[in-house]
Structure 1
């Protein structure tokens, strides 16, 4: 190593020079991948079945539980905006991930303790949906949930970027490996989510909620230890205080855009700097119009963890003769569909589309996102048709007034809507990630990743607000709410049709904005 020059611009966690042969690459990135797969496993282990816990042991109504899940999930996916600011301005990515891991372990430990306390609280018994005072256990439970949301904010905008930092973009072999990292990252997270939704949901409902949540805490603690073990090999890029903040850069760019050119009062160098800032601001404003057109995906995706789950609970979920699937298990169909579709898309569709469109990637970034939005609209339409069929079956068998009855309709009816939303994610989510990263000015790319997460976050908040508003309106005259606790008297089909219409309107907005969008740096892939 004496003849090997140190890498420029990076250091180890002690601030010392680092060398290519002893740092970075896959040896370092895999430590980060372990943490992120585990954190995704744990997060979906809570979120996938959360509505069942809220309407069961905590005694919430369907509408209240759905709104609570939407607000929590929305907060977790908006927190990266704050996390990106803190990481880029102060902590740095490495320290942000450490803070996130500490908060994860604390949050999952608290939610486990809260579950154990609730099990001994006579006012919080499964099946008791009558109103009761807000207990300390319920407050403690929600505090633990939102601590996990804060951890997501510190983790999500930093983890993938930190893993990519371990590869030198100026070194041919490491540059190729970094490109491969993004593919394996998405694949690994999908595997973790698929396993989590199936396994953790089964454990929670059959072995106990405390055991299910406690397992997540133990796994997160082990992953934290693994991340720390990789510390001696990490390459660290220190953020530039203040000036390096993406939000500070964005503010300066927007300020420059609002100013008139004044060639007599500034030097040529200053004029060029102002022109660059104005172009960066225009690029961000163009991205925001595309961002607005993508919100329908976030609203539709919010239903997977809430109302899709409640639909499934009313159906015949037996497989292999007598084994009953937990409702959350069907959520594995989404990521599983994505896992199966990615190779088909990459190996079959892209080559075919390349010959047709002449674009190297088959579809441009916006075409890929638009395809995902169209599939999202189709998913909501199918969900509405299936729910209408479920309600008709309940009426035919006289089950309208029996909230606990199993409607004689197979769980397989829900497969198309889960598969459609899963395939939509391959187009929309991956497309949005690449688009917001690729088209954001280089100094603002951490903000670009946060914009992607905010699509899901704002979508959850819109969904929660719609559920609360419609529940209040439809139940105000003494009639049944669209989200009545007895789903056989509810009208989730009307709500799905509403979301299908919203998705169609958003798709029209997206197509209008995309048709006039000019890619920065002439990136048309």
Structure 2
């Protein structure tokens, strides 16, 4: 809304290109611009984790058919996001280039207003989860109780573990990993008196302990996903800059906007998530006999392999572009922009595996009360990865500059992005090895469906 106002309200409208009376932006111009940017950031940060997890909450985990529907939900959520991305980098990019930013911003504002109205019209039909208090408190209670009982011997059986839940609660089965946390639910003599609930800071339930294990297990997966996010960051930065130096003409007069080439990745992801949901998943269910087809983290790992292949292909294409640039010495090369198609297409396939897998992982494999936080953790992977990418570029640029010419020159033709892509491929290869070690014996959430365990 604010961006739209800056294009149509005279006091907020910046001067146009080539305007002889153009002056430096005033404080009100700066305020309007940064206010719009911060509002977009806050809105995106609130909508993405909340809306995605809210949509997944519409499915009943205890109903087999609805549970399968939830597994498809993340595929179709991303298909819709890809559809929006395609419209953004094609039609909206064309409108911005030919009719101005104001027209494009106005269209987006009206579209967002309509979607908000449609969302609220469905309010009476949604399923809601009742608030259950702070999701972080039980985790702190488990850690405190485990530290208090750290000197107690580990029991020979699980009979000494405490479990208490409401009849409708989803209980988690005990797992053998991270045994030091199990002492938080270990019952000692006289700790439970009849008619009195034990202090959760001294004795917690098996379910709370297992939920804490889920969070501890998710931390290394989050870190192992960052380098994949760095690869994604290249698609919206260096890949687009490369497209700006290539021949983008279709026919005699139509020129593709540089950002529109990113639609190839969105098309690839859109196509593959549909194929995965409608073709691969049913086949994998028959072959493996598992409801999900393949484990979530294996799906993520397959996408990481595609990201490595994508970086290798990107390095080879960039080497080819540099060779052409050295021969032609022109601002726009004769080399077609569609040389970038393979790396974008491979990135789209990798996204279909890893991004959807990470969304499902950070929603499913966290405590039920932390699902919105889980989706926020997924989003933070991409956000932090962008900062990591910028940091990596600065470090690599300074290091290579000390030992010769920097890999990042004043323009792409004086840079060596091909070497940077090879570096990312090597780093992701090492990261993939670490990832496989982390996930080799991973313990997934094990829900006791329709089982009620009474208090001791």
The TM-score with structure 2 as length reference comes to 0.78
Q: Does 1:428 align with 2:325?
A: no
Q: Find the partner of 2:420 among 469, 491, 495.
A: 495
Mapping for residues 214-229 of structure 1, pairs under 5 Å? 214-229=106-121
Q: Does 1:147 align with 2:39?
A: yes
**Range with bigger deviation, 341-350 or 375-384:** 341-350
Mapping for residues 237-276 of structure 1, pairs under 5 Å? 237-240=129-132, 244-260=133-149, 261=183, 263-264=188-189, 266-267=191-192, 270=198, 273-276=204-207
Following the alignment from structure 2 to structure 1, what is the Cα–Cα distance between the partners of residues 30 and 146? 48
Q: Please give the root-mean-square deviation of Cα atoms over the aligned residues, in Å.
A: 3.4
**Which residue number corresponds to residue 514 of structure 1?**
439
Alignment CA distance shift 1:172-1:412 (3 Å): closer
Give a deviation string over 1:383-415, Cα, whole Å, max 9, x none: 11111110111012234xxxxx11111111100
**Which residue number corresponds to residue 379 of structure 1?**
310
Q: Find the partner of 1:314 among 240, 245, 251.
A: 245
Q: Does 1:393 align with 2:324?
A: yes
Following the alignment from structure 1 to structure 2, what is the Cα–Cα distance between the partners of residues 356 and 231? 40
What SS is found at the alignment partner of 2:443? coil
Mapping for residues 127-276 of structure 1, pairs under 5 Å? 137-138=29-30, 140-166=32-58, 181-240=73-132, 244-260=133-149, 261=183, 263-264=188-189, 266-267=191-192, 270=198, 273-276=204-207
Alignment CA distance shift 1:176-1:424 (3 Å): closer
**Which residue number corresponds to residue 301 of structure 1?**
232
Q: Find the partner of 2:220 among 273, 286, 289.
A: 289
**Which residue number corresponds to residue 9 of structure 1?**
none
Alignment CA distance shift 1:259-1:201 (3 Å): farther
Q: Does 1:414 align with 2:340?
A: yes
Following the alignment from structure 2 to structure 1, what is the Cα–Cα distance between the partners of residues 29 and 386? 25
Following the alignment from structure 1 to structure 2, what is the Cα–Cα distance between the partners of residues 123 and 138? 21
Offset, 1:115? 8.8
Following the alignment from structure 2 to structure 1, what is the Cα–Cα distance between the partners of residues 68 and 253? 49
Alignment CA distance shift 1:347-1:522 (3 Å): same
Alignment CA distance shift 1:365-1:305 (3 Å): same
Give a deviation string over 1:494-513, Cα, whole Å, max 9, x none: 22122112211211110110
The number of residue pairs the alignment matches comes to 404
Mapping for residues 19-38 of structure 1, pairs under 5 Å? none
Following the alignment from structure 1 to structure 2, what is the Cα–Cα distance between the partners of residues 338 and 327? 20
Give a deviation string over 1:141-181, Cα, whole Å, max 9, x none: 34422221111111111112333445566678877766664
Offset, 1:417? 0.8
Alignment CA distance shift 1:214-1:470 (3 Å): farther
Following the alignment from structure 1 to structure 2, what is the Cα–Cα distance between the partners of residues 209 and 111? 7
Q: Find the partner of 1:446 among 369, 372, 378.
A: 372
**Range with bigger deviation, 146-155 or 202-211:** 202-211
Q: Does 1:330 align with 2:261?
A: yes
Offset, 1:286? 1.3
Give the helix-richer structure, 1 or 2. Answer: 1
Following the alignment from structure 2 to structure 1, what is the Cα–Cα distance between the partners of residues 441 and 365? 15
Offset, 1:337? 0.7
**Mapped contact 2:145–2:203 kept (Cα < 8 A):** no
Following the alignment from structure 2 to structure 1, what is the Cα–Cα distance between the partners of residues 20 and 429? 44
**Structure 1 alignment gaps of length 5 or more:** 1-104, 126-131, 400-404
**Which residue number corresponds to residue 14 of structure 2?**
117
Alignment CA distance shift 1:358-1:226 (3 Å): closer
What SS is found at the alignment partner of 2:294? coil
Following the alignment from structure 2 to structure 1, what is the Cα–Cα distance between the partners of residues 413 and 267? 29
The TM-score with structure 1 as length reference comes to 0.68
Alignment CA distance shift 1:121-1:218 (3 Å): farther
**Mapped contact 2:232–2:347 kept (Cα < 8 A):** yes
Following the alignment from structure 1 to structure 2, what is the Cα–Cα distance between the partners of residues 434 and 294? 14
Following the alignment from structure 1 to structure 2, what is the Cα–Cα distance between the partners of residues 169 and 341? 26
Following the alignment from structure 1 to structure 2, what is the Cα–Cα distance between the partners of residues 449 and 379? 26
Structure (1 or 2) with the larger CA radius of gyration: 2
Offset, 1:316? 0.5
Q: Does 1:341 align with 2:272?
A: yes
**Mapped contact 1:471–1:482 kept (Cα < 8 A):** yes
Alignment CA distance shift 1:317-1:206 (3 Å): same
Offset, 1:314? 0.4
Following the alignment from structure 1 to structure 2, what is the Cα–Cα distance between the partners of residues 355 and 164? 25
**Mapped contact 2:13–2:29 kept (Cα < 8 A):** no
**Structure 2 alignment gaps of length 5 or more:** 150-182, 449-456
Offset, 1:465? 1.4
Mapping for residues 69-84 of structure 1, pairs under 5 Å? none
